[in-house]
Structure 1
Amino acid sequence: MIPPIATTVSVALSIALGACALAISSGEAAFADATIQGVARWPMVSPVDFSKLSAADFSDDELDLIEPLAHFSTFANAVVEEGPDRGFFNISVWRRAQENRTYNARVMENILSLAWFYTADRKWNPWRGDPAVRVRLEAALDFISRIQAPDGSFSEYGPQRWNIAATAFMTKFLGRALEHLSAPDAPPVNKEVLAHAHKTCRKALLAALARDDYYERGLLYSNQYGNIWPGGLSWFAMHDNDRELKALWEKRLRQSAGDFQSPAGFFYEQNGPDFQYTLGTHGTNTRSAWPRLRHDASLARTWIRKESAWFEWLAYNAVLQPGENWIAVNCAIESRTRLPFFPGTETPVAEFVDHARAFSPTREERAAGIAATRARLAREWPPRIRRLQVPAFDSFSPYTFLDHRDPAWYPSRVERDAAREQLPWAARQNFNHIRHDPRQNSAFLYLRRPGWYASFAFGNPASRQQRYGLGFVWRPDTGILLQSQSRQKSLAWGTYAEKSDYPFEALSFDARMAIANHPVSRPFPPAADLKQGDLALAYSLYAEGKPSGSKKVLFTDDGIDVSIGLSRKFAEHFPLVLAHGDTITIRPDAIVVRRMERNSPLLTIAFRGASGIPVVAENATPLPGRRLMLLKIPSAGQLDYTLHF
């Protein structure tokens, strides 16, 4: 590791030693030389005194900063003061505890938190220009420069294990921090340290943009590479004459528009769709980049085109729940993480993309949330702040400060309701729709009938956690009724060999498809409506690489018919989503799901060929106010059933 740069800072510091006081008031006193046995080299960052503040001191957009304000001194005082790790954030509040290592540049993304409080000109911020914060900020900037590879890369998972994730994320957070520190009215920072930090940021951008292996990694993990879009824009805001870097940045942005996004609409994450990473990291990249991108007509069009395609994909895979404030997701096809539902998404492109608007909180909801927060603070001031969780993955996150300058666009309730009426499953009651990803040769089907809506996937899964087959079944009057779970054992729809935790559909399988008895030709289109009519799928069930049975699925106006023939014992699994109070009745030839105060059943599964009594077991639910009930129907060779809605 490169030795630390000796930094200086203007201070007027008194350090008490018993009855004696040592005054340091020279214009450029070096904290690094202020070594006093038994006393910290640096002054402590004092905690905020809420008794001197009121809720009225915070604007509506600043209410979410009250908790970080309470915890900032704890975080800042954890910066290592001396030795080879000088400047490291030695507190596990951003990344997992086992990852809080000096080689992990991801930990240092909280440089933005230090820079924000050091520069923010707010009545309630006691640390603007604070010497105790400044010395830690300079040390942290120096530390970041010292852990960087000669080519500009950063590491995450081990010493010198350079990767695009650590490098690209650093450009985003360091770039924004440097914007704050380089503003004309910013408090002073050591010029040598600041200049070195600028060089560090540019080297990281150049490495991310110039290395083809990093770009190829972005083909697999688009959210990681996408951090250089806001990172680059921060750099150009400070260095608008850096034409070489800007040309390379624009080249990669335009190139990535086709490479990082499937023709089906999703952004690649481990070669497949992942809702959490795209709504999360990709969403923050959009929020950070858009305020500047929107002023470049050509780049703005490029961005809106890819966001429109993404939200159109989301519109087929996310369904609203009547009477609820959460949105269920086709989580069976997730390639990396698990996101069974989300409350909504805040994005600036909702101003231009109707499908984005449909999933956005409204201006009225936001105003009501702010009013409720102010009412609570009026009752509880000084505010009741929960203790900072240590260790924790994200109890003190730099995203709080990244997102703070990057507003979303919120529709009115009327505007959002109008957009929701245009969601495909709301606007039409009968369609067969397909999305096809050529990279994995996977097909994603979406089938709407007047009484229900369902998804089905087949082809080659991109990761072991995906579960193809029937992803979800949704009713327009009651919401999600069946939801296959990714990654989890046994909790996906499909056919399971005896004693197996995974369905045959967890493996690659191809399905022959026909509509109204007419085969559907290939290759499949990237995104298109198919002909209307009953849609039939037929595929083989493979065991140990050999076909051991077959399965047919038929989607009709009346329901879903399934026929299974298998040369071994098996069970058919149904991960049913029930509200509290719903009942399941098991009969010799049917399972009936009912809801109180409804005359007709929510679902009837009529079956024949069961080798035993179906069983139902409750599992940990991933959805608010719902129960996840796993139904299993055993069979010894042939099972036929129909789902009636």
Structure 2
Amino acid sequence: MVLSRRGMLLGTAGLGAALGVGAVVPGTAAAGIAPPAGPFPALPPLPGGAPVRAQFEPLEQRFGPYLAILPGMVNDVEVDDAATRGFLGGGWWRTPSVPTNSRVQEHVFTFSWFLANEREWNPYSGSVPLRNRLDAAIAHYLGLQHDDGSWPEYSAAEKSKAATGFGIGYLAKTLANLRQANALPERRGEIGTALKKGMTWFLNPDNPIWESPVHYANQNASGLASATLALKLDPDAALQKKLADRIGFLAAHGQSPAGFFYEPTGMDINYNFEVMLPEIAEIHVLTGDRTVVSMAGKFAKWFGYNVLREPDGTGSLTYVGMSARTTVTGYDDVVADPDRTDLASVFVPEVPALAPFFTSAEDRAATREAWRTDPSPAPPLAKQDTSPRIIAHAPYGEKLPSAAVKKQAIQQLPYLSSKDFAVQRKDTATEQTYVYVRRPALYLAAFFGERPSQYARGSAGLLWHPEAGTIVQSQQDDASCWASVLPSGSPDARGLLTASYRVGDRDWNGDRIVPGSAPVTVDYALDSRIRTKLTLTKNTVTRAVKGTTALTEQVPLVLKPTDSVSFADGSPAGFGKTSSATTDALVIRRGDTTIRIGWGTALAAKVVATDVTILREGGRRLHVLRVPHPGTLTTTITLG
């Protein structure tokens, strides 16, 4: 059974319910891997004041925080218990932190990099204590591999797609480092054997991990990127042919016709942009593969509808309500290292539509200079926040857009390059329909059909104004999604919403249109209990709701401390507070823009501040407007 979840190298030659401690793991290759006998002296601590920031080259600054924790990680390697010798204990990376979770061992790459690469700031290159404990860690890692080539994660018998896919890559990079350092020759041979077995399992087209559509596509991409590097190190014509075949399969079955990558069968802002895209970028860097460039181009067109820039330039807010797995509400315009999206920037020269989503080269240079001139030592990483991907991808470099290229690409974003369109993006395999409507005074994103996971919320999800920015952002939970809420607390956005679409008096079923003066309407229902008509004009969003019981209209508002917010009766609604009034509207004034949310009759309304903050510099905070009503209500948001 397959369980899924949530050199080019700097300094390398030639390529830029788990079992407890001491348990024997049946069905693994452990018997063929001999653990080293030692000795295992502790790795000495760093000298006082290290890591010294000024010693790092810009592209290697992200190694500083890893160097700061290296002695702690290395000295937490189990060396006393022969049964689990080499287990990377201490809880530094991945859970469960147990000897049978092979993902815990991925920091063998980190250890090997510091062993192999001489730098002014790296006192551990060639270190015997580091080498000996790395030897034990590799032996334990290889001993967890099943006879068929897979590795476990959550239980000893599991054949994990993620553990195997990512593991092949970390072991291949470790092998490259050991070759560079001319270290551990017998272990290098064992790694080569393990890599071939792992690729044979992963690239087998009959393996259940290659379902259609591909679930958790980022994990498949990781295995393909990993195999790409492994086959650069040790070519194998038969495996290379299978690799090319699986890359084509992933392009055909791992990416929705809508443009997103399946996580597991829907889109996920985080996994799509921060994991999947960098993984296929590694394939592109190593081979120039055109299939993955095409995948990146399709994704860029999709992403442009779902990540909305704030007019003040501080960053972008996301359609997080439809993310199937993780919660990323926004991206700052400038992100300092470590930034795990960096490797994906290699697509920008060929896919300029991706440029808006990366920090500009000039801004990144400024953040790196600020880091370099800080006199304090590079700070250590917190446990669990130690992803080896950050430094594993760093040596490939980056192609961040210039400020000018980024500015030009921003102007081409769909909702900025046009003031009037309506478009649907559909996933036919899963009956998902994403709706994007731009009118002169607004942009709205919405979703109808099968929700891809328990976290996603349907209905209207994102409302943006060209001068004011994002006004409404639906979240992934019942208490802060844009919805009509039943007395049980369940929102219609959590159910299957069946919908029909019209523009004016015409049915509309997916083609891109320019509405002009015609309203765009979506009639949708949560079975027989709640029916809603969503209408968009040039400057209004109206939700006319009819329910079979009492309901509460719920609108998650993105507010700034500088907004003037009050109820129609004059009662103030304070930022960061809970406010209430019996009235018929709420009014938000942001700069020269006025947003009025009216419901036509005096009702007891409340605005509740949440603890959700959005963007680093913008000071945005999510507040939820709730208006209880007997079951029939029309709410109109007017933007002007």
TM-score (norm 2): 0.87
For the 8 Å contact 1:118–1:187, the answer to whether it is kept is no
Q: CA deviation at 1:3?
A: 4.7
| Per-residue CA distance 1:329-352 (angstroms, 9 max, x = gap) | 001111111111123653210121
Supply the AA of the counterpart residue of 1:219.
V
Q: CA deviation at 1:401?
A: 2.2
Look up the SS of the partner of 2:452 in the other structure: coil
> Identical aligned pairs, as a percentage?
25
In the alignment, which residue of structure 2 is the partner of 1:548? 529
Structure 1 residues not aligned, in runs of 5+: 9-30, 33-40, 295-299
In the alignment, which residue of structure 1 is the partner of 2:120? 123
Q: Superposition pairs for residues 236-635 of structure 1, below 5 Å?
A: 236-240=231-235, 242-294=236-288, 300-343=289-332, 345-346=341-342, 347-377=345-375, 380=376, 383=377, 385-386=379-380, 389=382, 392-394=383-385, 396-486=386-476, 488-500=477-489, 502-521=490-509, 524=510, 528-529=512-513, 532=516, 533-542=518-527, 547-587=528-568, 588-595=583-590, 598=591, 600-601=593-594, 603-608=595-600, 612-624=603-615, 625-635=619-629
In the alignment, which residue of structure 2 is the partner of 1:75? 73
| Greater gyration radius | 1
For the 8 Å contact 1:103–1:160, the answer to whether it is kept is no
Kindly tell me: are residues 51 and 641 of structure 1, through their superposed partners in 2, closer, same or farther at Cα, counting changes over 3 Å? closer
Distance 1:549 1:399 in 2: 46
Which of 153, 156, 166 lines up with 1:156 in the alignment? 153
For the 8 Å contact 2:59–2:397, the answer to whether it is kept is no
Is the deviation greater in 121-130 or in 361-370?
A: 121-130
Distance 1:428 1:218 in 2: 33
Kindly tell me: are residues 91 and 530 of structure 1, through their superposed partners in 2, closer, same or farther at Cα, counting changes over 3 Å? farther
Count of aligned pairs between the two proteins: 582
Distance 1:60 1:257 in 2: 34
Q: CA deviation at 1:530?
A: 6.4
For the 8 Å contact 1:434–1:530, the answer to whether it is kept is no
Q: CA deviation at 1:134?
A: 1.2
Deviating above 4 A after TM superposition, structure 1's stretches of 4 or more consecutive aligned residues are 3-8, 50-56, 528-532
Look up the SS of the partner of 2:271 in the other structure: helix
Distance 2:544 2:324 in 1: 28
Q: CA deviation at 1:483?
A: 0.3
CA root-mean-square deviation? 2.0
| Per-residue CA distance 1:539-583 (angstroms, 9 max, x = gap) | 2233xxxx1342111111131122111221111100011101323
Which of 166, 171, 174 lines up with 2:171 in the alignment? 174
For the 8 Å contact 1:80–1:89, the answer to whether it is kept is yes
For the 8 Å contact 1:584–1:591, the answer to whether it is kept is yes
In the alignment, which residue of structure 2 is the partner of 1:141? 138
For the 8 Å contact 1:5–1:193, the answer to whether it is kept is no
For the 8 Å contact 2:281–2:292, the answer to whether it is kept is no
Kindly tell me: are residues 565 and 148 of structure 1, through their superposed partners in 2, closer, same or farther at Cα, counting changes over 3 Å? same
Kindly tell me: are residues 218 and 137 of structure 1, through their superposed partners in 2, closer, same or farther at Cα, counting changes over 3 Å? farther
Supply the AA of the counterpart residue of 1:539.
Y
Supply the AA of the counterpart residue of 2:322.
I
Q: CA deviation at 1:55?
A: 4.2
Q: CA deviation at 1:79?
A: 1.1
Q: CA deviation at 1:7?
A: 6.5
Look up the SS of the partner of 2:557 in the other structure: strand
Distance 1:385 1:54 in 2: 10
- The reply on whether 1:187 has 2:179 as its aligned counterpart is no
Distance 1:402 1:473 in 2: 38
Which of 187, 196, 221 lines up with 1:226 in the alignment? 221
Q: CA deviation at 1:310?
A: 0.6
| Per-residue CA distance 1:227-270 (angstroms, 9 max, x = gap) | 12221121111112x10111111110011101000000000002
Distance 2:54 2:487 in 1: 64
Determine which structure has greater relative contact order: mean sequence separation of CA pairs < 8 Å that are 6+ residues apart, divided by chain length: 2
For the 8 Å contact 1:433–1:445, the answer to whether it is kept is yes
Distance 1:4 1:88 in 2: 17
Q: CA deviation at 1:6?
A: 4.9
Look up the SS of the partner of 1:585 in the other structure: strand
Structure 2 residues not aligned, in runs of 5+: 1-24, 334-340, 569-582
Look up the SS of the partner of 2:68 in the other structure: helix
Q: CA deviation at 1:52?
A: 8.4
Kindly tell me: are residues 449 and 64 of structure 1, through their superposed partners in 2, closer, same or farther at Cα, counting changes over 3 Å? same
Is the deviation greater in 245-254 or in 555-564?
A: 555-564
Look up the SS of the partner of 1:614 in the other structure: strand
